[in-house]
Amino acid sequence: MALEMGREELERVLRHGEETYPHECCGLLLGRAAEDGGRVVAEAYRMRNANTESPQNRFVFDPQEHFQAQRAARARGLEIVGFYHSHPDHPAWPSQFDLDHAAWPGYSYLIVSIQQGRAAQEAGVNSFELAEDRSRFLQETIAVR
């Protein structure tokens, strides 16, 4: 599978990670499904990390904010095609916690590494799809246009 997104949207995710450092940032990837089974991102939609207990290494979406974002996306003809979050001072690879809390196969899970407050750029960006049986993440390519 592949995740396709514009450079501007990728930069938006990276800046979000830098702005929230040393806490994790989080957000939605809005767009549409591609004909080849991948996903095309039209917008990286910022969400607030509602985790107040451990925001430096965990994120939580506020359910009401998530619902409002979903409604706003639909009103613009978009759908949620994935999610993003940052890993402050850690690699852009899913943690066991990420796997344990990933709920939806068929979506992209974009992770960006923020090292000492600075985005690690494209080398620090990876995207994954949750396997159908939810046992693991499968790395997917990222096509930046």
Q: Which amino acid is at 63?
A: P
Per-residue pLDDT, 122: 60
Total structural domains within the chain: 1
β-pairing, 118-119 vs 39-47, is unpaired
Query: What CATH number is attached to the domain comprising 85?
Result: 3.40.140.10
pLDDT for the residue 17: 97
Query: Global pTM?
Result: 0.95
pLDDT in tens, the chain (145 residues): 799 999 999 999 999 999 999 999 999 999 999 988 899 999 999 999 999 999 999 999 999 999 999 999 999 999 999 999 999 999 999 999 999 999 899 999 999 999 999 998 666 999 999 999 999 999 999 999 9
Measured CA to CA, the distance from residue 114 to residue 2 in angstroms comes to 23
Measured in whole angstroms, how far is the alpha carbon of residue 24 from the centre of its chain? 11
CA atoms within 13 A on the CB side of 76: 14
Segments forming the whole domain that contains residue 135: 2-144
